[in-house]
Each structure stands twice: as structure tokens, then as C-alpha cells.
Amino acid sequence: MSTESATFDVAVIGAGINGAGIARDAALRGLRVILLDKNDMCSGTSAISSRLIHGGLRYLEYGEIRLVRESLRERITLRKVAAHLVKPIRICIPIYKSAKRGPLLIRLGMIAYDLLSVGKTVPGHEMLSRREAIEVEPGLEREGLRGAARYYDAQVTFAERLVLENLLAARSAGARIKTYCEVSKLVIERNCIAAIEYTDRLTGEHDKVSVRVVINAAGPWVDQVLATSGKPSRKFIGGTKGSHIIVGAFEGAPGDACYVEAAADGRPFFIIPWNDLYLIGTTDIRFTGDLDQIRASGAEVDYLLAETNRVFPAANLDPGDILYAYAGVRPLPRRDSGPESAITRRHIIKKNRRIAHGLISIIGGKLTTYRNLAEQTVDRLGKMLDRKLPACRTQETKLPGAYRLDEARELLASTAELSGSGVERLLSLYGGRAIDLLELAQSEPPLQRTIDEHNTVLAAEIVFAIRDEMARTLIDIVHRRLMLGLAADQGRPLYEIIAAIAADEAGWTDAERHAQIKALHDYSDSFGV
């Protein structure tokens, strides 16, 4: 085992949205940061959400006023600092006679939502009559329809890219990012965190690094990380499973996102236009199984299909219409009784003093509020290190791709190899960083070509993912950099050509390339139902 000579102020464990945000904030404030994840970045909870940046309208029912206010404030911030990734989305709430939530309650919720969203950058809500609701969404079930409400929230089509840009910003500020590095031991000396030991899962190499503080942002794996200390600890995570199904356009499909109360259990769920497809979900079920083997169950799939067909009766969706599905566990605070939906979505920053001083665990949290969670965590980190840190800058500092957007659009539009849809695709993934991508392509002419029939994917993207975006496997490239793994065909027609380019760049042997292709197919297959 080798040991790095440097001592880091903080080790962040977990490269989901919370870990990435914390690493970025800490590095921007001058701390020496190392971040580790046992897999690739954004390969857990952050990738299994409904991909909304929202205020949490439903949380008003449970009196979570502070959480809603925080979420709405952060929605405004993310629209500014990640404008290329976070876009407004209009949402329709159809109101039926049989529903628990009638027009008055929903209108009161809408008014409260608007009032809490001080300084919002989207229009306020509107209430629709039955006739107006049918006009705007003619595919809705009409029997029992009383009207609808419409309001705006925001959508991040690819949460993976939001996580990545936080990591890129952290790296630019000096943080060291190590993916596929699994922490095997929290080293404690004199009741204080002293170091961490970890193993690179791709190379098998073991290493040890001295640290002063550990931030355990491992999501559902928080308790597993704590167990590596060798000290007893109570369980902090009581996760609930959420599943989504992805389908193509269907008869009567909504033009806007729909937020619908399920007839089976009264729980709201979404039907969302997303990535030229429809994302339907989510479920909310307590989960105690293997965190590394989570699939959407048959019961969950049937539930989502039945509820969608009930509200959009012309759809007639069945399991054969599902392109793929994804599922994961929300890292919520442990609660052994009561409805899953009532478990708070607020984050908890927990000092694990009974294990060691200098150890903090992040419990819960939302995609929407990651930046504020990171700010609060780094504020506490400064006190633990007895250092007066500079003020947080992440509320004003844009993410890397949010700069030079107009220049990037102009350069992409003048690139002969790209179609119009290719220009939009690259802007939606890279934002202003598309300029760097084009510079790479121009410096190596073979990378200027497109590799798909619609002229939307540049060969340079594969090399860019490896050189600039920390991709280490073919799965990383396809599913979490180029985002082709979330297309209707999961990018399968391009696997061989992407593998050939990646192998040339990474120096893979033929055997390694074939192994990478097999692993990619197996991973894509795991999204089946």
C-alpha cells in the first residue's frame, strides 16, 4: 500500500450531487479536498430522481415550509448558475372528483407556492376550469374532471451533467477527484479521524491518505461507510425505493408535465416530457435489500402503467411499451413507522462524534437543494478545522458550462458536420464548454466527424469524456457523459464505434475493449423490466 504524502483538509466520500457540491464549495474556499466514490460519479441516487429542480409543492401538506422556501430559492439560483442545464417546465395538475385534494386545497397550495417563491423567474400559477383543462390537455380522462391548475418549476434533463460540472469546478479549484476508489477503512487515532484507506476497483491498487475531516456523503451507503471505522454505530439511513419507467410518445400524451394524484394510494406522481420521451414516476417504498442490486419491480411497473392509463385512457400502455426503467433508494432519515411520503426530505448534517471527531455524515437532501446543503456543510467544516473561511461564492459563481453560451451556439451552428438537432444536443450537454470540445476536434481532424446518422454526436466527445471529464469506462462514456444511454435505443447502434475510439484513446487491448463492450451491454440490459 502506498501513502500520499499530502494531508488533505477534507475527504468527501460520495460523488453524487451532495458530495460534488460540497467538494466544489470547499475547494473554492481554499481547502485541500479529495473526493472518492466506489463507482463513477452520479451512479447512485442522484441519477434516479424525477430530474426536476422543484420547490416541493407536496411538502406543503406536511408543513415543511422552510424546505419549500429553501427549494424555491435554490431553483432561482440554479437557473442562473446552470442555465444550460436547468430549464423551466410547466406542470399541470388535473383535479378529479374522487381525489383527496380538491380545487380549494390545490388553489391554496398554489398561492402559498407563489408567495414563498420571492423573486421567482417563472410565471405564477393559473387555475383552469374543466373546459379549459380539456382544451390544453385533450388526452385527459374527462369523467369526474373538475378542472386543473398549472404552474412552473424547472427540469434538469441530465442530472449526471449537473453533478459532473460541480466536479469539474471542484477540480479546477484544486480538488482531487478519484472515482472507482472504494473506502475500506476510516483510520481513527486518539478518537479523531486521521486517514482513510481505499482501493481502486479498476486497477486493484490500495492507497492511504491523511485527512483532518471526512464528509460521508455516500447517500444510501452512509451506514456502510461508517461501519469501516470498526466502531459500533446506530443506523441513520431508512431509505425508500423510487422507480421510474420511460416510454415513447403515446396516444393522448400531455404537452406539459402532469402531476397526478394516484387513485390507488393518493400519492402524487409525475408524467413528464423528457429527453424526447416520457418519464413516469415515482414510487415510494421502504427498502432494506441490496443497495447495489435495485430494479423496478413488477408491482411498481403495473402501478405506474395503470395510473397513467387511468388519467390518459387512450394511452393503453402495457409493459411492452416500456423502453427501460430505473430505480434507486432515497437516503432518507431512518423512521420505522408512518407513511413513507411523510418522512422528511430535509437534509441532516450529522456529526458522528461517538465514532470520531472530524467525521460528518450527510443524511437526506434533494437534488434541488444540494448547493445550500454544501454551503451549510462547509461553514461547519471551517469551524471544525478552526479556520476562518472565505464566504461561500457558489450562489453567484456559474458552473463551467454556463459561460460563453452565445459564443458556443455560434461556433456550433457554423460547424458543417453538425445538424441543427446536433447543435442543440451539444449545447444542452456542454453549454459553453462546447467551445473546448470543438477546439479538440479541430486539433485532431479525425475527431471532427459525426458518428451517428442524424449528425448529432461528434467523435471528439468520446476523447473529451476521457481526457477532460474523468470517464474511465465505456459505461461512463455512454451513460454519464454523452448521455446516449438514456435515449430510446440506449445508444446501442453506436457502442462498437464508441468503443473503438475509446480504446484508441485509453490504450485498451482488444480483450479489454471486448470486455468493456460486454459490460456496457450488461449495464444497459439492467434497465429492462
Give tens-digit pLDDT for 440-457.
999 999 999 999 999 999
d(CA 150, CA 90) in angstroms, rounded, equals 7
d(CA 59, CA 69) in angstroms, rounded, equals 10
Q: Which segments of 256-358 does DSSP mark as H helices, in order?
A: 298-311
Do 373 and 479 lie in a common domain?
A: no
Other beta carbons less than 10 A from residue 329's beta carbon: 24
Instruction: Name residues whose C-beta falls within 8 Å of residue 462's C-beta, 6 or more positions apart in sequence.
Output: 477, 482, 498, 501, 502, 505
Instruction: Please say whether the beta carbons of 462 and 477 come within 8 A.
Output: yes
Do 421 and 485 lie in a common domain?
A: yes
Burial pattern 110-146, b for ≥16 Cβ within 10 A else e, equals beebbebbeebebeebebbebeebbebbebbeeeebb
Q: pTM for the full model?
A: 0.96
CATH code of residue 418: 1.10.8.870
Do 351 and 233 lie in a common domain?
A: yes
Report the candidate in 328, 365, 339, 341 with the shortest Cα–Cα distance to residue 269: 341
Do 265 and 313 lie in a common domain?
A: yes
Q: Please state, in angstroms and as integers, the Cα–Cα distance from residue 407 to each residue in 44, 46, 358, 404, 489, following that order.
A: 34, 30, 45, 5, 32
* 37 falls within a domain: yes
Confidence of residue 246 (pLDDT cuts 50, 70, 90): very high
* 292 falls within a domain: yes
Has residue 163 got a pLDDT over 80? yes
Do 312 and 431 lie in a common domain?
A: no
Question: What angle is formed at CA 477 by the lines to CA 475 and CA 480, rounded to 5 degrees?
Answer: 80
* 273 falls within a domain: yes
Q: Which of 14-23, 188-197, 329-338 has the lowest mean pLDDT?
A: 329-338
pLDDT in tens, 459-486: 999 999 999 999 999 999 999 999 999 9
Do 352 and 439 lie in a common domain?
A: no
Q: What is the pLDDT of residue 216?
A: 98
d(CA 496, CA 409) in angstroms, rounded, equals 29
Farthest CA pair distance, the chain: 71
Q: What is the pLDDT of residue 217?
A: 98
Question: Across the strands, what pairs with 88?
Answer: 154
* 468 falls within a domain: yes
* 358 falls within a domain: yes
Do 373 and 505 lie in a common domain?
A: no
Q: Which residue has the cell 469539474?
A: 168
| Mean pLDDT of all residues in 239-258 | 96
Do 298 and 432 lie in a common domain?
A: no
Q: Which residue has the cell 397550495?
A: 109
Number of structural domains in the chain = 3
Instruction: Please say whether the beta carbons of 279 and 114 come within 8 A.
Output: no
CATH code of residue 325: 3.30.9.10
Domain with 176, as residue range(s), is 2-45+160-238+344-384
* 139 falls within a domain: no
Instruction: Name residues whose C-beta falls within 8 Å of residue 392's C-beta, 6 or more positions apart in sequence.
Output: 25, 28, 29, 375, 378, 379
Question: What angle is formed at CA 35 by the lines to CA 30 and CA 40, rounded to 5 degrees?
Answer: 140
Has residue 351 got a pLDDT over 70? yes
